[in-house]
Amino acid sequence: MGRAGRQRLWPPPCADRSPRGPGAAAPEPDPRPRHRRLARRSGADAARGIHRQAHVPVQRRSTPACGRAATVRRLILLLAALLALCPALARAHALDPAYLELTAMGDDRWRVIWRVPDVVGQPMALTPRLPEGCSYVPPPPVFDGRGWSTTFEALCPAGLAGGVVRIDGLERTGTDTLLRYELEPGDGQGLRLTPGAPEVALPDNPGPLGVLGAYVSLGVVHILEGADHLMFVLALLLLIRDPRRLLWTITAFTLAHSITLAAATIGWLRLPPAPVEVVIALSIVFLAWELALPPDRRDPLAMRYPALVSFGFGLIHGLGFAGALRDIGLPRGDIPLALFSFNVGVELGQVMFIAACLAFGYLARRLVPVLATHGPALSRVASYGIGSLAAFWVIQRLSGF
């Protein structure tokens, strides 16, 4: 058996080794020379019968290196949290709304396209119900790589105007259903069904206010569900810190995507959607790369010419918005109003996202003051998460060519 003795526990390297409790005031220094203090203390201890140990742990204070190490650990944890969110964002297409399209074919017949998201290898439990009097037999859906779709014909002798379309099971989900319908061939219109309102009566003539409300709502929801567009805006917010330059940058982005949205929707500009989606993802990779540059090497193009860069990429993002609007469809008699309303909805959703980001940043700096002193490091951490996600989108979209 070894000889039992007192064991001394040493605190961690970055801990305060003072015997004082945390928060206690430091003792006043003794102005006498060290050898006199030790001699006087030894005599007093001997008189009381106290024998001091030869080796006493030296009091050490936390060093700046320790503080930096703690900050690095926090940044690593934050990066891990961001990376943990990436798979959820990468699977954002699995949370796409369901899609129901009713295309008039004449002779009281409609072609029906029904598409639902994939849920763990199975179609989401949603069933479309067409207006009463319609007869149809939908075949089983087929997986197309992103969702489950089926196409069939429906015979509706009474037509669709005034009829009620319902999505059974929608009230038990967290997704919506996008409805595009034609009362007459070529007269497409769009509506959105939600878990709170899983059925809708198809209006014969929705009128200007109906078109305005429907397409503003569709624009807001589209931008808030578009993770790639939101990541681009977030990267701009992190890169451009000056409020005035940020305002000009966002304005240029808005103007650019409004131009191409209108041109592509009207038919003046036609580009295949697959390359457009790849370039949109590459634009996010570009901003993330510039955001990740160290401060001593940072002279990014987007920082020197933010409005020009955001305008150029905004033209590409507008083509993505136009593709979504073409899928929704436009009422034949109200195309300008529907286009304007959808664009207004996109801008409202974008402003909501920017306001939420700025409010979150302000509250975070107030609640955790240390964040204000580590802004560049946090921006680099965010750039890694944004860039990794955007690179995944590039690969995913290239593989879909």
Question: Tens digits of per-residue pLDDT, 251-306?
Answer: 999 999 999 999 998 888 888 888 999 999 999 999 999 888 876 666 667 778 88
Ordered DSSP codes for 1-43: -PPP---PPPPPTTS---SSPTTPPPPPPP-S-HHHHHHHHHH
Q: Is 10 inside any structural domain? A: no
Q: Answer yes or no: do 240 and 381 share one domain.
A: yes
Lowest mean pLDDT among 3-17, 143-157, 306-320: 3-17
Same domain, 319 and 263: yes
Q: Which residue has the higher pLDDT, 315 or 184?
A: 315
Mean pLDDT to the nearest integer, 229-258: 91
Whether residue 67 is predicted with pLDDT greater than 80 in this model: the reply is no
Domain end call among 152, 176, 205: 205
Residue 218 lies in a domain: no
Task: Give residue 288's pLDDT.
Answer: 92
Residue 219 has pLDDT above 60, yes or no: yes
Same domain membership, residue 133 and residue 236: no
Answer yes or no: is 183 within a domain.
yes
Q: Are both 264 and 372 inside the same structural domain?
A: yes
The model carries a pTM of: 0.65
The reply to whether 152 and 273 lie within a common domain is no
Q: How confident is the model at residue 20 (pLDDT cuts 50, 70, 90)?
A: very low
175 & 276 share domain? no
Domain boundary among 205, 238, 253: 205
User: What 3-state class would DSSP assign to 46?
Assistant: helix
Number of domains making up the chain: 2
Distance CA 174, CA 194 (A): 8
**Structure confidence at residue 60 (pLDDT):** 47
The reported pLDDT for the residue numbered 70 is 55
Confidence of residue 128 (pLDDT cuts 50, 70, 90): very high
Nearest to 98 by CA among 119, 77, 73: 119
Question: Mean pLDDT for the chain?
Answer: 78
Q: Kindly state whether residues 286 and 145 are assigned to the same domain.
A: no
pLDDT higher than threshold 90 for residue 390: yes
Q: Which residues span the domain enclosing 352?
A: 224-399
Do the domain assignments include residue 210?
no
Judge if 236 and 384 occupy the same domain: yes
**63: in domain:** no
Q: Are 371 and 364 in contact (CB under 8 A)?
A: yes
Which of 205, 233, 256 is at the close of a domain? 205
User: Is the domain of 149 the same as that of 257?
Assistant: no
- Statement to judge: residues 201 and 232 lie in one domain: no
Q: Name the E strands within 53-108.
A: 98-106
265 and 188 fall within a common domain: no
Q: How far is 56 from 390, CA to CA, in rounded Å? A: 56
**122, 245: one domain:** no
Q: Is residue 347 part of a domain?
A: yes
Q: What is the pLDDT of residue 16?
A: 47
pLDDT band at 183, cuts 50/70/90? confident
Q: What average pLDDT does the segment 140-166 reach?
A: 89
Asked whether residue 176 is domain-assigned, the answer is yes
pLDDT, average across residues 128-141:
92
